[in-house]
Amino acid sequence: MRAARDGDRAAFSEIVRRHKTPLYQFVRRYVGDADDAYDILQDTFVAAWQGLRRFDVQQTLTPWLRKIALNKCRDHGRRHVIRRRLLTLFHAQSSVESPWIADSNPELESPDLERLRRLDQAIARLPRRYKEPLLLVLMAGLTHQQAGAQLGITAKAVEMRIRRAKEKLRMALTPYRDGAAQ
């Protein structure tokens, strides 16, 4: 671990080799999906590499890695829930999990796919001041404080802008609800 902290990539590769299987099993059980688990595992090791300097070498490595993995699982869960809420907000069918995977999901029916494309287009048309907080919080999983720090605004401003973004999206998509005329 000391060598990895000093930037030795081979040492870090050995850490990954030793810990990837038990961490993958932990993550897989937590999220219930093999592909998601693999992505989260990669995110875990990236975060570990980036956080090596903060690791206290007097501590045990396994709990530290598991804590990072747990946080990544929680982040994933929050994003997943938020995506479903966002879809529900726009009356998409509950079987659709994410508008951002619509093109790769053959089970989506054409009306669902069209609804999701309209949602993507409406988000893209939002003014930057509304789009950025919306995506940082709802899609990237940042807290209002974190998004505010990244954007140079207060957490309350983030909250207000997200509310306004949702209102604008609701208004933009209202004519398209329930198969209404375009």
Query: Tell me: the pLDDT tens digits for 40-98?
Result: 999 999 999 999 888 888 888 888 998 899 889 888 877 776 666 666 665 443 344 44
Domain with 113, as residue range(s), is: 90-179
Q: For 57, which DSSP code?
A: T
Q: Are residues 28 and 53 in the same domain?
A: yes
Q: Summarize pLDDT for 103-118 with one digit per residue, the tens.
A: 444 444 556 667 777 8
Query: CA end-to-end span of the chain, whole Å?
Result: 60
Q: Are residues 60 and 110 in the same domain?
A: no
Sign for the CA dihedral angle at 128, 125, 130, 137 comes to: negative
Report the CATH number at residue 135. Answer: 1.10.10.10
Choose the final residue of a domain: 76, 110, 134: 76
Q: Summarize pLDDT for 82-104 with one digit per residue, the tens.
A: 666 666 665 443 344 444 444 44
Domain count, the chain: 2
Which residue type sits at 101?
I
Q: Are residues 50 and 113 in the same domain?
A: no
Q: Are residues 96 and 68 in the same domain?
A: no
